[in-house]
Amino acid sequence: MTEIRRTARYIWVSVVLCAALAGLVVRLVILHAAMPDAGRTRTVKNRTFCETLQVPRGRILDGSATANILAANIGVKDVWVDPAPLAASNRIAAVAGPLARALNLDAAELASRMNQTNRHFAYVARFVPQEKAAEVARLKLPSVHFSDSMARHYPQGAMLCHVMGFVNHDGVGSSGIEQCMEGYLKGTPGLRESRLDGRRREMYDRRVREIAPREGSDVVLTIDQNLQYMLEKALDAAMEQHQARAAMAILQRVKTGEILAMVNRPGFDPNRFREAKDPEKLNRAIGYVYEPGSTFKVAVIAAALDKGIVTPQTVFDCENGRWLYQNRILRDYHPYGRLEVADILKKSSNIGAAKIAILMGDTMLEESLRAFRIGSPLGIDLPGEEGGILRPVSKWTAISSSRIAIGQGVAVTALQMLGVMCGIANNGQIMRPYVVKEVVSASGTVLMRQSPHVVSRPIRPETAMLMRKLLSRVTEEGGTGVKARVEGFTVAGKTGTAQKVIAGRYSESEYMASFVGFLPSEAPEIGMIVVLDEPQPLHTGGLVAAPVFGEVAEQAVRYLGLLPAAGPEQTALYYASKATQP
Amino acid sequence: MARRNRKKNQAGFVFPVPLAAVLVVLAGFSLFYVCLKAKTEALGQEIKALEARSAQLRQDVIREQCEWASRLAPASMEQALKAHGLVMTWPGRDQIVRMKADGTIDGPLTPEMRPPVRYARVDRVVMND
């Protein structure tokens, strides 16, 4: 009897176990084989997670040997709350207060943002530095969460702001290099697809897919931060001294077209681009057109010499400073009698330049100016470049050529005016200006490297050489650009003082003062333009812009290690003069 | 008739030895699987932690680079010099010596062009004259 009962017990246990196992098997079959598609999809979806692997945007580096960082992405935190449980438990004030204090926010405004019973997400603050986020985390506030994010950081602050541009809050380059090199800088985010366990933790052995991210490439500029600083500092001082409304300056390597420095004022801090007004964000050096005034005589006289219309010795009557032409009076700043072409340039005679242009004829003048790339952009690798304004000859009036010759009725950008001067310095070849030297991938591969490119040959090399000599006289005693001189070097250049057009008339009190030049004039290496908008009370290019040129050029030649191209006699003279100094 | 020895009689159900062996092997495999699974899990966690650490370190490097770049900025350098009372000016041309790779002096600093050497002079003080 006992044996039978024991056997029965075994059978019962076995049956129960088998039934339980069978139940589990049936359930497994249902889950894996017989489950409806919708349910299976939902299950898979619940257990799967896809993560975008963020990559930092590429850096922007300057062109000096030390490749200083001008822009880089740094890790930050976005702080957000889940408002629904806070509102339900009536703890909004208890959370909003400490949170606002920690993040320097307005507590009332934050509380109103959190007071949403039907929402589960609301930003408290974006792009919070990690140290600050750690402070907030230590408060252990309920329903406060953190997510990783990236923010663009410009360690040099406002320096070079117009060239670099800025990145908007979605991480997209919206201006300057950030915009035009977006394709290289942004990189490609990666993707990770994996499964989660019952506690919503990733099951590392169940990673379905992992696509490695490709980091953004580094963009190396031609701009040198030290030269940039020199130019910015000098321009800021000039702005303050002359109470100018705005200013712009460019330093360029003559033979290649590389931009070594580009400054615009007013400027802005790209770290706080939202606070900047639109005029502050404008890259005036390439995007603001102005009537150049006397600096434009360089293009006209160079063209006339190149076409053989005049020679440096050709004499013009400058009418003692007042000339009636086509019933309109043209005046000189200082009255002159007869002047040779060389002196017309040196003394910047309006009447002399106008007569040269008239002698050329409208068609030839227009063709020559277009060859100098007036009226069309030079093709710099920055967004927002303007091409200037040069109306077609069919729309010129009887006095147009006489006014264009003195830089009125024509508009250029500072970059174009520098292009004209550097073209003369570079044996008649205008180079395409560029600010991006190369693009280097995260692995060190050079993806793109810029090379010098000639965009135009407006004059012959012989004419360019002649013009260099004539322009050197502008900074000699008696010339208008004496203050642009650099000790030991011969500087070639031209001053400009252009009346601004206010309400359709030439203003008698508002001017654009400029100086554009290059050095050493015998074998030019660097060219520079300095333009100040509405300087007061001094307003002439020779007094306002030329000193800035001289100050920066003196530092730049030392920094770049340029030697005077003059013969040993001049150098010996220079040292003799130094030795006699106390 | 001999009496049946009840002590020698095998009482109840006898578990089949082959089945027991199969179950033991299965249990062994299960344990092995569980061990492997635990190890994989631990390795996965380690990988995840290292990934996070790597990302954090990369961020730290960039942050340090930015900080360094900020300190090396010409404006910061100028401020630092000012704070330490150091006055630095660009060297005069006669203070720069450029050496070529072959050891010769380049540029204007050839001997005849160098500024004349000026030695310090101490005027003789006549005493008890």
Residue A247 makes CB contacts below 8 A (sequence gap 6+) with A235, A238, A239, A263, A264, A265, A530, A531, A532, A533
Pairing of the two strands A218-221 and A60-61: parallel
What rounded mean pLDDT belongs to chain A? 89
Which residues of chain B lie closer than 8 angstroms to A68, CB-CB?
69, 72-73
Query: How would DSSP label each residue in A262-322?
Result: EEEES---GGGGGGS-HHHH--HHHH--B--GGGGHHHHHHHHHHTTS--TT-EEE-GGGE
Does the pLDDT of residue A386 top 80, yes or no? yes
Give the residue-averaged pLDDT of A135-161.
Answer: 88
- Per DSSP, A522 falls in state S
Cβ of B66 and A69 within 8 Å? Answer: yes
B73 touches chain A (CB under 8 A): yes
Q: A506 to chain B nearest CA, in Å?
A: 40
Residues in chain B predicted with pLDDT less than 70, given as ranges, are: 1-13, 90-96, 98, 105-129
Of B63, B73, B113, the CB nearest to A572: B113
- A206 or A315, which is more confident: A315
Name the residue in chain A with its Cα closest to that of B49.
A204
For residue B9, what pLDDT is reported? Answer: 59
pLDDT at A179: 94
> For A218-229, b where at least 16 C-beta lie within 10 A, e where not — what string?
bbbbbbbbbbbb
Which of A296 and A569 is assigned the larger pLDDT? Answer: A296
Tell me the C-alpha distance between A499 and A291, whole Å: 8
Q: Chain A partners of B37 at a C-beta cutoff of 8 Å?
A: 205
Given a cut of 70, whether residue A253 has pLDDT beyond it is yes
Q: What does the alpha-carbon distance between residue A500 and residue A245 come to, in Å, rounded to a whole number?
A: 13
Strand partners, A148: A77
Peptide bond before A582: cis, by omega within 30 degrees of 0? no
Name residue A86's amino acid. Answer: L
Q: Tell me, what's the pLDDT at A94?
A: 85
Structure tokens at A141: 């506030």
**Length of chain A measured in residues:** 582
What's the pLDDT at A35? 74
Residue of B nearest to A56 (CA): B59
Among the listed residues A274, A243, A281, A320, the one whose alpha carbon sits nearest the alpha carbon of residue A163: A281
Range scoring the smallest mean pLDDT among A258-262, A461-465, A487-491:
A487-491
Residue A506 is predicted with a pLDDT of 87
Q: Quick one: average pLDDT of A262-276?
A: 91
Whether chain B has a CB inside 8 Å of the CB on A73: the answer is yes
Kindly list the distances between the CA atom of residue A168 and the CA atoms of A72, A153, A271, B112, in Å, as whole numbers in the listed order: 14, 12, 10, 60
The yes-or-no verdict on residue A212 having pLDDT over 90 is: no
Would you call B66 and A563 a contact, using CB atoms and an 8 Å cutoff? Answer: no
Tokens, residue A285: 């050096």
How much is the pLDDT for A575? 46
The residues that bridge with A454 in the sheet, in sequence order, are A431
A131 in contact with B at a CB cutoff of 8 Å? no
Mean pLDDT of the A42-54 span:
84
Q: For position A461, what pLDDT does the model report?
A: 94
**For residue A531, pLDDT beyond 90:** yes
Residues of A in contact with B108 (CB under 8 A): 563-564, 568, 571, 574-575
Position B5 scores a pLDDT of 64
Is A152's pLDDT higher than 50?
yes
Q: Which residues lie below 8 Å from residue B55, measured CB to CB, with a gap of 6+?
A: A75
| Size of the A and B interface in Cβ pairs below 8 Å | 102
Side-chain half-sphere CA neighbours of A337 within 13 A: 0
Q: Which residues sit opposite A528 in a β-bridge?
A: A251, A517
Measured CA to CA, the distance from residue A546 to residue A527 in angstroms comes to: 13
Of A73, A205, A230, which is closest to B44 when you measure between CB atoms?
A205
Judged by a CB distance cut-off of 8 A, whether residue B15 touches chain A is: no
Residue A303 has pLDDT above 90, yes or no: yes
What is the number of other CB atoms lying within 10 angstroms of the CB of residue A264? 28
Q: Is the pLDDT assigned to residue A552 strictly greater than 50?
A: yes
Instruction: Please name the residue ranges forming H helices in A410-459.
Output: 414-425
Q: Average pLDDT of A306-310?
A: 93
Partner B contacted by A4 (CB < 8 A): no
Q: What percentage of chain A carries pLDDT values higher than 90? A: 54
Are B66 and A156 an interchain contact pair (Cβ–Cβ within 8 Å)? no
Is some CB atom of chain B closer than 8 A to the CB atom of A149? no
> pLDDT value at position A139?
87
* Model confidence pLDDT, tens digit, residues A321-361: 899 988 889 988 889 999 999 999 988 899 999 999 999 99
pLDDT for A78-88, tens place per residue?
Answer: 899 888 888 88
Q: How far apart are CA B36 and CA B45, in angstroms?
A: 14
For A76, name the nearest residue in chain B, comparing CA atoms only.
Answer: B59
Place of tokens 């050493």: A520
Classify A430 as helix, strand or coil: strand
Residues of A in contact with B115 (CB under 8 A): 575, 578-579
Q: Is A141 exposed, middle or buried (0-12, 13-18, 19+ CB in 10 A)?
A: buried
Q: Check residues A246 and B115 and name the one with the higher pLDDT.
A: A246
> Taking CB atoms and an 8 Å limit, are A68 and B75 in contact across chains?
no
- Restricting to A residues 342-361, those with a Cβ less than 8 Å away from any Cβ of B are none
Q: Does B12 touch chain A (CB under 8 A)?
A: yes
DSSP string across chain B: -PPP-TTTS--SPPPPHHHHHHHHHHHHHHHHHHHHHHHHHHHHHHHHHHHHHHHHHHHHHHHHHHHHHHHHSHHHHHHHHHHTT----PPPGGG--EE-TTSPEETT-SGGGSPPP-----PPPP---
Residue A146 at interface with chain B, using a CB cutoff of 8 Å: no
Check pLDDT > 80 for residue A47. Answer: yes
Q: How does residue A74 score in pLDDT terms, banded at 50, 70 and 90? A: confident
- In this complex, the residue of A558, A564, A579 whose CB is nearest that of residue B90 is A558
Task: Please report the residues numbered 388 through 447 in chain A whose beta carbons come closer than 8 angstroms to any beta carbon of chain B.
Answer: none
Radius of gyration of chain A (CA): 35
Minimum distance, in Å, between the CA of residue A165 and any CA atom of chain B? 18
